[in-house]
Amino acid sequence: MDPVKPKKSLGQHFLADRNIAAKIVSSLTFKDYDAVLEIGPGMGILTSFLLELKNAEVRFVEIDTESVEYLNQKFPGIEKSVINDDILSTDLRGIFDRPFAIIGNFPYNISSQIFFRILESRDVTREVVCMVQKEVAARITSPPGSKEYGILSVFLQAFYHAENLFNVSPGVFRPPPKVTSSVMRLTRNSRRSLECDEQLFFRVVKTAFNQRRKVMRNSLRAFIGDHEHEISFLRSRPEELGVDEFIKLTMEIERVTPPPFGHLPLEREGV
């Protein structure tokens, strides 16, 4: 079999170190799930270890037709488990009939969009083990008060416990990326839903961080109108607030802002 040629347009950097691949797969905990979806298997280095898992159903989403053909040749019998589709348009809830985990080396150019897709399916996505750009992992796992803490931190930490597991150097990829990578894990927390209007929460967080150097009294003026005295945290900057504080802030804004609040297309917004 001829190897798959990495495609720059798809952000493909194929991991070539089997020890690291084994370590990534072993980071799955299988707590409250027995199904796993791999995003972007490429040449199948994670796939080979996933197929060895006992008592686990594994499926794969791959946009690259050349990679799909390669996987079908390399792993006989895998055809029915491979979905040739774009993960950004795939119905994640329709892949399994029960909760599952997601694993993969996410393309750097769409990693944030993938996380928003995961948020949309958070009711069935119990865990995520993924490799992303080191800076993205730092942003997601950072606590309030840090310079990396931002929109993606709040959105994901609202529903997942986020932890950075280990870093991966560029030299173990083909071709090597220009950045260091990190493997991180998201584990679903106990929050089933927000206590506030979810769309308003997303809008408040995004608006606040888009002007992160300003105290929120200024950045959220359009939300609070003449009700400043009724709203908490307005003298704070957004990076000082944790998820619970943002929920409380949104609840207070909700009381003074008439619906409808509108829909924020998260996957199309910058983070």
User: DSSP letters of 185-237?
Assistant: EEEE-S--S-SS-HHHHHHHHHHHHHTTTS-HHHHTHHHHTT-GGG-SSTTS-
Per-residue pLDDT of the chain (271 residues; tens, 9 = 90+): 668 888 988 988 999 999 999 999 999 999 999 999 999 999 999 999 999 999 999 999 999 999 999 999 999 999 999 999 999 999 999 999 999 999 999 999 999 999 999 999 999 999 999 999 999 999 999 999 999 999 999 999 999 999 999 999 999 999 999 999 999 999 999 999 999 999 999 999 999 999 988 999 999 999 998 899 999 999 999 999 999 999 999 999 999 887 766 555 554 444 5
Looking at CATH, the fold of the domain delimited by 8-188 is given as Rossmann fold (3.40.50)
Count of beta carbons in the 10 Å neighbourhood of residue 3: 10
pLDDT attached to residue 267: 46
Domain boundaries, the chain: 8-188, 198-261
| Angle made by CA atoms 104, 244, 206, in degrees to the nearest 5 | 65
pLDDT attached to residue 269: 45
Map tokens 């084994």 to a residue: 22
Burial of residue 212 (number of CB atoms within 10 Å: 0-12, 13-18, 19+): middle
8-188 and 198-261, same CATH topology: no
Query: Which residues lie across from 181 on neighbouring strands?
Result: 133, 168
Query: Which residues lie across from 58 on neighbouring strands?
Result: 36
pLDDT attached to residue 2: 66
Query: Would you give the DSSP letter of residue 76?
Result: T
Length of the chain counted residue by residue: 271
Helices (H) and strands (E) in the chain, counts: 10, 9
pLDDT attached to residue 258: 73
Q: Is 93 helix (H, G, I), strand (E, B) or coil?
A: helix
Query: Which residues lie across from 184 on neighbouring strands?
Result: 130, 164
Query: Which residues lie across from 174 on neighbouring strands?
Result: 14
Looking at CATH, the fold of the domain delimited by 198-261 is given as Helicase, Ruva Protein; domain 3 (1.10.8)
> From CA 40, how far away is CA 74, in angstroms rounded?
15
**The whole model's pTM is what?**
0.93
